[in-house]
Amino acid sequence: MSTKIDEFKQKIADYTLEKPERKPRQNYVSVLILRELQSAARFTTDGTEANSAVIRIGDTEATVGKLFGRKQVASDRRVAKALQRTLISEQMNSVMKKGVWDGCSMEVTKMCQRCPDCALFGSAASDEGISITSRVMYDEAYSIRSISTIVEEYFQNAPGDNYAKSPTSGIREPDFFKEGTLFPCVVTLKDATPEEVLFFLNITDRNTRYGATGTRFGKVRNHILGVYAGYREGPSSLEVTRGVAMALAGSADREKLKGILTADTLSLDMVCEAAVSVYESLAEKQRVKHDKFDTDYVSKVLSEMKDDAVVKEILETQLVKVGEYVSAD
Ligand SMILES: [Zn+2]
Every domain of the chain and the residues it spans = 3-73+137-309
From residue 231, how far is each of 30, 91, 234, 280, 316 by CA, in Å? Answer: 11, 33, 9, 15, 27
From residue 200, how far is each of 114, 180, 188, 265 by CA, in Å? Answer: 17, 24, 10, 30
> pLDDT at position 127, please?
65
Closest by CA position to 143, among listed 76, 223, 238: 238
Q: How far is the CA of 45 from the centre of ligand 1 (A)?
A: 26
Closest by CA position to 302, among listed 2, 16, 30: 2
Q: How far is the CA of 173 from the centre of ligand 1 (A)?
A: 36
Radius of gyration over alpha carbons of the chain, in Å?
21
Contact between residue 230 and residue 291 where contact means Cβ atoms under 8 Å apart: yes
Residue 319 has pLDDT above 60, yes or no: yes
Any bridge partners for residue 188, and if so which?
30, 137
Q: How far is the CA of 149 from the centre of ligand 1 (A)?
A: 40
Residue of 40 and 242 predicted with greater confidence? 242
Distance CA 248, CA 243 (A): 9
Q: How far is the CA of 210 from the centre of ligand 1 (A)?
A: 21
Residue 277 has pLDDT above 60, yes or no: yes
> pLDDT at position 26, please?
96
List residues, by chain if needed, whose CB lies under 5 Å from ion ligand 1.
104, 111-112, 115, 118
Q: How far is the CA of 221 from the centre of ligand 1 (A)?
A: 26
Q: How far is the CA of 179 from the centre of ligand 1 (A)?
A: 33
Q: How far is the CA of 197 from the centre of ligand 1 (A)?
A: 17
pTM recorded for the entire structure: 0.93
> pLDDT at position 93, please?
93
> pLDDT at position 289, please?
97
Q: How far is the CA of 106 from the centre of ligand 1 (A)?
A: 9
Q: What percentage of the chain exceeds 70 in pLDDT?
A: 91
Residue 48 has pLDDT above 90, yes or no: no
Contact between residue 31 and residue 201 where contact means Cβ atoms under 8 Å apart: yes
Chain segment 160-208, per-residue pLDDT in tens: 555 555 555 567 777 889 999 999 999 999 999 999 999 999 999 999 9
Q: How far is the CA of 116 from the centre of ligand 1 (A)?
A: 7
> pLDDT at position 169, please?
56
Q: How far is the CA of 105 from the centre of ligand 1 (A)?
A: 7
**Residue 321 banded pLDDT, cuts 50, 70, 90:** very high
Residue 282 has pLDDT above 70, yes or no: yes
Question: How confident is the model over 229-255, as a mean pLDDT?
Answer: 95
**Residue 215 banded pLDDT, cuts 50, 70, 90:** low
- Neighbour count for residue 46 (Cβ, 10 Å): 8
Q: How far is the CA of 222 from the centre of ligand 1 (A)?
A: 24
Residue 297 has pLDDT above 80, yes or no: yes
Q: In 3-state terms, what secondary structure has residue 282?
A: helix
Q: How far is the CA of 73 from the centre of ligand 1 (A)?
A: 14
Q: How far is the CA of 181 from the centre of ligand 1 (A)?
A: 33
Q: What percentage of the chain exceeds 90 in pLDDT?
A: 74
Residue 25 has pLDDT above 90, yes or no: yes
Q: Residue 53 class from Cβ within 10 Å (0-12 exposed, 13-18 middle, 19+ buried)?
A: middle
Residue of 188 and 213 predicted with greater confidence? 188
Q: In 3-state terms, what secondary structure has residue 31?
A: strand
Nearby residues of 177 by Cβ (< 8 Å), 6 or more positions away: 37, 40, 41, 42, 43, 50, 65, 143, 150, 151
> pLDDT at position 162, please?
59
Q: How far is the CA of 123 from the centre of ligand 1 (A)?
A: 8
Work out whether the CA dihedral 281, 287, 288, 292 comes out positive or negative: positive
- Neighbour count for residue 96 (Cβ, 10 Å): 13
